[in-house]
Amino acid sequence: MFVVEYDREFAAANPKSAAHFLIAEAVNLLSQTQLSATHLSFQTSVDYEQWLIKEYRPLLPGPILCKLLAYNSLGTWRQAVKRKTVPIHIFKIPNRRGYIALTKDVADWYAMNGAKRAG
């Protein structure tokens, strides 16, 4: 089991820290690997980006994006792609199936949404 300690007063004073908490929670819920709390001590979205690159590579395919962006299933992911409601920029590579996104875009999305949520 994975536990993340969260101090609300500290997060209110430091919105970026709240973003890190959101990142840790998302990774906890969505990652296929078992992680300890020490692996999730990201200082910036760049740290999270580096972790994602190490885990998944610089380009993230649809099934991984489905998990990282908290879609319930591949079906809901496909609907979001069809409706153009995916919250990050996705694109196709010619002669390849499916959509992909840059790891940097996912890390930036987590950082922005964590800051909004704390504010």
Token pair belonging to 111: 């950082």
State the pLDDT at residue 119: 44
Q: What value does the mean pLDDT take over residues 58-72?
A: 90
* Residues whose CB falls within 8 Å of the CB of residue 13, separated by 6 or more in sequence, listed in order: none
- Decide if pLDDT at 55 tops 50: yes
**46 belongs to a structural domain:** yes
**93 belongs to a structural domain:** yes
What does the alpha-carbon distance between residue 32 and residue 45 come to, in Å, rounded to a whole number?
A: 20
Give the range with max mean pLDDT: 4-8, 23-27, 115-119. Answer: 23-27
**4 belongs to a structural domain:** no
- Decide if pLDDT at 101 tops 80: yes
3-state class (DSSP) for residue 42: coil
State the pLDDT at residue 68: 87
Residues spanned by the domain of 33: 9-118
**1 belongs to a structural domain:** no
Q: How far is CA 62 from CA 38, 71, 83, in A?
A: 28, 11, 15
- Decide if pLDDT at 104 tops 50: yes
The verdict on pTM exceeding 0.85 is no
